[in-house]
Amino acid sequence: MPKTATSRYDVAEHLRTPEEMAAYLEASLEEANGDAAFIAKALGDIARAKGMTQVARDAGLSRESLYKALSGERIPGFDTILKIVSALGLKLHAEAR
């Protein structure tokens, strides 16, 4: 049987519009079950789609700090999350259940 060649899937390559980015973040928030690192990783995917250097500049962070904050290995502070969400051109909102 011949082997099938595969490549690693990178969601950042498929987030092209602000609407797709917002939908991805919304879906991630629903799936996270309170896991802040999961949300940070999702924001990292969106930031990579937009360009980490520009997002870091717009958020007032160094590129290295942005990578660390959104690696999914640590939980960034809420102030950092708010800066990043704003730099991504997104808004967080709340609604009653």
Instruction: Specify whether the CB–CB gap between 69 and 61 falls below 8 A.
Output: yes
Helices (H), 1-97: 18-31, 36-50, 52-59, 63-69, 78-87
Say what the pLDDT of residue 34 is.
87
What average pLDDT does this structure show over 61-84?
A: 92
Amino acid identity at 39? I
* Extents of the domains making up the chain: 17-87
- How confident is the model at residue 95, as a pLDDT? 82
DSSP code of residue 2:
P
SS3 82: helix
What pLDDT sits at residue 42? 95
Reported as a single tens digit per residue, the pLDDT across 3-45 is 888 888 889 999 999 999 999 999 999 999 989 999 999 999 9
Confidence band, pLDDT 50/70/90 cuts, at residue 2: confident
pTM to 2 decimal places = 0.88
